Structure 1
Amino acid sequence: MTTLYMPLFRSCTNLRSLAQLHGHLFVTGLRHDPLPSTKLIESYAQMGSFQSSKLVFKSFPNPDSFMWGVLIKCSVWSNLFQEAIFLYLTMIKNDHVQISNFIFPSVLRACSGFGDLVIGEMVHGTIAKNGFGKDSVIQSSLLSMYGEMGCLSNAKKMFDEMTVRDLVSWSSIILSYIENGKTNEGLEMFCLMVLEGIRPDSVTMLSVAEACGDLGVLKLARSTHGFVVRRKIESDGSLASSLVAMYSKCGDLVSAERIFVNLTNRSTALWTAIISSYCRIGRFVEALKSFVSMLESRVEPNSVTMMSVLGSFAGLGWLREGKLVHCYIIRREMDLDYDVLGPVFIELYMKCGKLNYCEAVLRILEGRNIVAWNMIISICIEKGLITDALAHFVQMLTRGLMPDSFSLASSLSACADGGLLLFGDQIHGHIIRRGISDEFVQNSLIDMYSKCGCTELAYMIFDEINEKSVVTWNSMICGFHQNGNSVEAISLFDRMYLNGLEMNDVTFLSVLQACSNLGYLEKGKWLHHKLLTYGVRTDLYIGTALTDMYAKCGDLLTAQRVFNSMPEKSVVSWTVMIAGYGAHGRVNDAISLFNQMVDSGVRPNQITFMNILSACSHAGSVENGKFYFNSMRDFDVEPNSEHYACMVDLLSRGGDVNEAYRIIKSMPFPADASIWSALLNGCRIHCRMDMIETIEEDLLNIHTDDTGYYTLLSNIYAEEGNWKEFEKVRSAMKGIGLRKVPGYSLIELDKRIYRFGVGFTSLFQTEETLTFLENFQNLSQEHVYHLENQ
């Protein structure tokens, strides 16, 4: 009799009619019949009322495993993954319920949705214990769960153990690799699938097209498109949209537009794909024109379409138009909870400088959308609002939302930019407590500690990473050379090279900068050769780094040759070459190059002027120095303390200490220790103790931790025999805890540079260096003994 009610369930089109049917079942006494009750649970959930489903379930006296399974499945439909896991754990504690295989696919989906690998592995153990391990549906669910949670080794193991590998399982393993950044491995699995005779469908090709787009290899993208055409794979709207997106990611917008134009029946997905393609490459106006054409074609946009539209307004900084579209979205009730569009609203309002609007969006979200928090944190960092970025990170934690790898990496980046070591340490503690080993986060930790000057801590994290990517190696090499540990940076590169590890242009760029710091010409030449043999394209950055390296290592001719061969030159490239000429005393060449730069339409910046002034200072060219210092404002460049220090140094060395002093007094900000040091050095050179007496009161007001300033001043007093003032300066140094920075020596052994000094221990090869020095000392003693006994 209960089967007669099944057509009635199908006729219920809203919650009101379903509630009426529910009441009828209650009156007729069928509410304790498992079949209509189970159907009620399912129907309520399908209409978006999971709480009603739960009430029906609770009113049933002894639900069986099927009813439990339906309720768990319904909670997964409603994205209540934690609820689904709780129901499963409650069910298995009930001795009266016999576990069936029907329940596990939903539970496994809940585990991956909630991101709880521990419970997922426990469910896997229960599956094996109850003998359901060979069930093909459960095997596919396990494969999907491990893939979605990034456990590719477990996913591959499940795939290898599967008795029947159908199209669904192949598509699942391919998607797992691609979504976890293993794009090449995903494409390799696709090739194996084709070789085994499994015919891919449009769903499989969606993943393949996405992989080709992620790689950005146009040749591969065209091969994929050709495969779809040759195999006559039905190209529905989704696949056509993916092909459009694939071509745009590979930089071939013409092919993307051709696919779009050739399709007459343009779906929402296809319009969305072409709009997002324009938005992705910064052609925001074309994206908005396409959106208008879409509306004129009577095609309804969805929330994904509006993401690209709002992104275009954000890119253009069009606040008014963005607010109008925001109203349009509200009227159409596209995303009432802001779950999809919340982050894009935040991007729009942040880029338009409306932080209070972003706070309003977060209040609507009630802090539940981690993507929105990530967006506001990353844009705050992009705008240099470090404090605001970290304040939002703290708010996210206080609201009980667990930060993901992006949140953590972005916050660590903020700590690195702001030099906030203590805050970074606290985030590191949070990462350790949660057991997060994500490569993205680990690399951010290395970067944070390196930028905060803690290279030993950075190296400790680096050393503990088992599988190091090229990004990890690059982060550590860059961290070393940025902190003056150029020897260690080169040694780390040598380890990469000797172990045959992958290297890219960033690797070479970092180690070239390390060679520049050391003046290590032979290694720099070797690197230049390896750049050519490895096929690394000498782009703007590499060309500039090579020019800088050769100039700093004394090979100005090769630096000039590299600079002249660069097809494109940035202001940094010109500045580096000007600095090279200046360092070698060729002030006329530096001036000539500066004029060439201006004539070519490149505007000099603060560093360019710093280098041209430095060149004038090295050559003692006072008039040229004055000219370029006075012309800075013609290029809208305001002189900073370094420019003033250079100008004071130039005048002081030339003997015009009075003019130098006048410039100091005319500065729009207080002079720091470096500026007074430049004047002091001029007074010392030209024996102008009268000037030192004049500025004595100014010198007393200087508070600095620059040991060079105190050393220079004490040496001047010592040379004049004024030991009283000498002792006063030295006492002041000791009083604030300063001491002279100890020197160090560099030694080259077997074409490698090692650094050592008093109390210095290198991170690399310390034992080898000390052994060499000990052997050298023993040989020297033997040689002396031999000479004495001849």
Structure 2
Amino acid sequence: MTHLPDIQSHITKIPHHKNYLKQHSELNVRLQQSKTANQPTWSYIIRKHLTQNAPKDALVIYNQIRRKGQYILGLVPLIFKACTSLSSISDGKALHAEAVKSGADTEVMIGTSLVNMYAKCGDILASRNVFDEMPDRNVVTWNAMIGGYLKHGNTDSAFGLFAQMLERTEVTWIEMIDGLARSGDTVKARILFDKVPVELKNVVTWTVMIDGYASSGEMEAARELFEVMPQRNCYVWSSMISGYFNRGDVKEAQAMFNRIPVRNLVNWNSLISGLAQNGFFEEALEVFWKMQGERIEPDEVTFASILSACAHLGWLDTGKEIHSMIDKKMIKLNQFVLNALVDMYAKCGDLANARSIFEEMVHRNVVCWNSLISGFATHGHCKEALEFFSRMEITNEMPDKITFLSVLSACAHGGFVDEGLEIFSKMENYGLAPGIQHYGCLVDLLGRAGRLKDAYNLIKTMPMKPNDAVWGALLGACRIHADTDMVEQIMEELSASNSTSDSGDDSHYVLLSNIYAGSDRWERAESMRLVMAKKGLQKIPGRSLVMLNNVVQHITTVTGQD
């Protein structure tokens, strides 16, 4: 029998692959001592790793079995599943070649696994080729191919296969309804839903249709169907809660949660994440502590949402308490939890802890890089923000618009003019079109450096109409450098475009009044005050939150004072 060199070469590239081999040293001994592998035993072990979301471990063990010259047919579908979980189409192709050589590819179960693997790994043409060449197919094979087409948004091909099927199961109908709804075609999804035979229309069928409506923001249609649903599961309640939260209807989402007769973790997570996403951070924390009181154990989703709430509130002590809970409960530190921890510490100003967690991460995505870079920029560590941006580029991680916004902000606050201009020019290299916020950062950068004319010319050549924030950045620079001539030029521009009157924003008048007062032009300063009074504008009070003895205190301040 041939071995599997392709899989072996990929496994050696897996981080800490030696640790995986060490963890299975006992299995190595058993393999060395036995001449034949026990299929039920290995099936159980590999299946267990897949259940525990450890597909890499499953590949390591399978590779060891193959190196001993064993080819166990029953293991192949499981290993295809591992390849699918890892999105490793190269390993899947190596397994496919093995199946062809052994003649196992004609088996229905193997063929179905191949159809599913190729479709989920993104090669829909290879998936269809396998499907067409199969001598025998069962309903699971057809469902896998239909699901693959729907995953790639090819609803026409999915419908074509659906129409050809002689036998359909509840899974067939669910795949079609769910796929159509998620592609945005809730009308066709509902037509199919109404055609589902009574004996095949179960609670999952109802749930995917309601979830489809909720995901599309059609909450009236979702509510109408929800109210006549004969039986409800925890997922349909969560779909309704999330749907209302996505629409910003926090009150209705909470009311839906309160109707649930028996709540589980899925329902609590929907409420907590929805509150956090809508800016109700304190309320999210209150619900979290209430959930603890009802002895519902949180999971990775819960902690990621709560850490986000702590980050936005700036509550470092609470964030550290949550971090301690994560350690005590031995919560799996997946990408979402680690990103949330970095973001929380960075936003709360504990950059040492944020950086420590970041450096220990094996895999980092753009969200994690953005959190740390933004944290450095926000808290005045501008040089470090630029250094980490350079590191990000070296690692070939693709920056996005948020990355550039954070780095440009760091350049503006740190006075790195040349670096800022160079970084701004790099956006095009990454296929990113600068938005008005990026231009605003560049105006701020030039303005702070005293290059007011360059900043003004940049505004005039922007591909979009400047907003109040952009003009405000330039006016703020005029105040710093006491350039009243530039102020007059800006005022002419604003008057011509009626920008200030359209926005209703009084910040320009406050800035202008302060600029004139700072340059002893008291008559012009007073005229600005009179304009504000005539328009009924006044200084906008600001509010801050502080924690004193675990009680939130609100502090009101007035912005724009002389």
Distance in structure 1 (CA, Å) of the matches to 2:448 and 2:120: 51
- In structure 2, relative to structure 1, the CA distance for the partners of 1:522 and 1:644 (3 Å cut) is same
Structure 1 position 555 matched with structure 2 position 358: no
Q: Could you tell me which amino acid in structure 2 is paired with residue 394 of structure 1? A: R
Q: Which residue of 2 aligns with 1:210?
A: none
| Among 527, 543, 548, the residue aligned to 1:721 | 527
Moved more, 440-449 or 258-267: 258-267
Distance in structure 2 (CA, Å) of the matches to 1:363 and 1:724: 74
| Among 578, 581, 584, the residue aligned to 2:379 | 584
| Among 481, 488, 511, the residue aligned to 2:306 | 511
Conserved in 2, the CA contact under 8 Å of 1:368 and 1:401?
no
CA displacement, residues 321-365 of structure 1 (integer Å, 9 cap, x when unaligned): 434333334xx4634xxx433332223334556443223223335
Distance in structure 2 (CA, Å) of the matches to 1:756 and 1:425: 40
- In structure 2, relative to structure 1, the CA distance for the partners of 1:465 and 1:300 (3 Å cut) is same
Conserved in 1, the CA contact under 8 Å of 2:440 and 2:470?
yes
Structure 1 position 334 matched with structure 2 position 137: yes
Conserved in 2, the CA contact under 8 Å of 1:487 and 1:753?
no
Q: Which residue of 2 aligns with 1:361?
A: 161
- In structure 2, relative to structure 1, the CA distance for the partners of 1:695 and 1:444 (3 Å cut) is same
Distance in structure 1 (CA, Å) of the matches to 2:111 and 2:539: 61
Q: Which residue of 2 aligns with 1:165?
A: none
Q: 1:703, CA displacement in angstroms? A: 6.9
Q: 1:240, CA displacement in angstroms? A: 7.8
Moved more, 638-647 or 671-680: 671-680
Gapped regions of structure 2 (runs ≥ 5): 1-22, 31-37, 514-524, 557-562
Q: Which residue of 2 aligns with 1:344?
A: 144
* SS of residue in 1 equivalent to 2:527: coil
Q: Which of the two has higher C-alpha Rg?
A: 1
Q: Could you tell me which amino acid in structure 1 is paired with residue 140 of structure 2? A: V
Distance in structure 2 (CA, Å) of the matches to 1:254 and 1:746: 52
Q: 1:611, CA displacement in angstroms? A: 0.6
* SS of residue in 2 equivalent to 1:535: coil
CA displacement, residues 707-748 of structure 1 (integer Å, 9 cap, x when unaligned): xx62334646875625896589769xxxxxxx9998656464
Conserved in 1, the CA contact under 8 Å of 2:142 and 2:161?
yes
Structure 1 position 306 matched with structure 2 position 114: no
Q: 1:629, CA displacement in angstroms? A: 1.2
CA displacement, residues 351-389 of structure 1 (integer Å, 9 cap, x when unaligned): 55644322322333599655345435655787xx4x33x
Q: 1:302, CA displacement in angstroms? A: 5.2
CA displacement, residues 560-585 of structure 1 (integer Å, 9 cap, x when unaligned): 44444545544333322222221122
Q: Could you tell me which amino acid in structure 1 is paired with residue 489 of structure 2? A: D
Aligned residues: 503
Distance in structure 1 (CA, Å) of the matches to 2:59 and 2:177: 32
Distance in structure 1 (CA, Å) of the matches to 2:440 and 2:224: 43
Conserved in 1, the CA contact under 8 Å of 2:219 and 2:243?
yes
* SS of residue in 1 equivalent to 2:505: helix
TM-score by length of 1: 0.54
Structure 1 position 444 matched with structure 2 position 239: yes
Distance in structure 2 (CA, Å) of the matches to 1:500 and 1:449: 26
Distance in structure 2 (CA, Å) of the matches to 1:604 and 1:265: 44
Q: Which residue of 1 aligns with 2:434?
A: 639
* SS of residue in 2 equivalent to 1:502: coil
Structure 1 position 429 matched with structure 2 position 199: no
- In structure 2, relative to structure 1, the CA distance for the partners of 1:682 and 1:368 (3 Å cut) is farther
Q: Which has the higher contact order (CA 8 A, sep 6+)?
A: 2
Distance in structure 2 (CA, Å) of the matches to 1:361 and 1:740: 65
- In structure 2, relative to structure 1, the CA distance for the partners of 1:369 and 1:354 (3 Å cut) is same
* SS of residue in 2 equivalent to 1:494: helix
Structure 1 position 457 matched with structure 2 position 252: yes
Structure 1 position 324 matched with structure 2 position 142: no
Distance in structure 2 (CA, Å) of the matches to 1:263 and 1:461: 58
| Among 395, 401, 408, the residue aligned to 1:613 | 408
Q: Could you tell me which amino acid in structure 1 is paired with residue 137 of structure 2? A: M
CA displacement, residues 494-547 of structure 1 (integer Å, 9 cap, x when unaligned): 223344431223322221211111111221222233333333355544343333
- In structure 2, relative to structure 1, the CA distance for the partners of 1:360 and 1:581 (3 Å cut) is same
Structure 1 position 542 matched with structure 2 position 342: no
Q: Which residue of 2 aligns with 1:689?
A: 488
Q: Could you tell me which amino acid in structure 1 is paired with residue 171 of structure 2? A: V
Distance in structure 1 (CA, Å) of the matches to 2:358 and 2:99: 49
| Among 667, 683, 698, the residue aligned to 2:497 | 698
Matches within 5 A, 1:269-280: 272-280=77-85
Structure 1 position 751 matched with structure 2 position 511: no
Distance in structure 1 (CA, Å) of the matches to 2:331 and 2:82: 29
Q: Which residue of 2 aligns with 1:396?
A: 192
Q: Could you tell me which amino acid in structure 1 is paired with residue 142 of structure 2? A: G
Q: Could you tell me which amino acid in structure 2 is paired with residue 430 of structure 1? A: L
Matches within 5 A, 1:71-82: none
Conserved in 1, the CA contact under 8 Å of 2:427 and 2:433?
yes
Moved more, 403-412 or 484-493: 403-412
Q: Which residue of 1 aligns with 2:445?
A: 650
Q: Could you tell me which amino acid in structure 2 is paired with residue 513 of structure 1? A: S
| Among 494, 515, 532, the residue aligned to 2:289 | 494
Structure 1 position 598 matched with structure 2 position 404: no
Q: What is the percent sequence identity of the aligned residues? A: 25
Q: Which residue of 1 aligns with 2:275?
A: 480
Q: 1:308, CA displacement in angstroms? A: 1.4
Moved more, 511-520 or 722-731: 722-731
Matches within 5 A, 1:409-424: 420=217, 423-424=218-219
* SS of residue in 1 equivalent to 2:140: coil
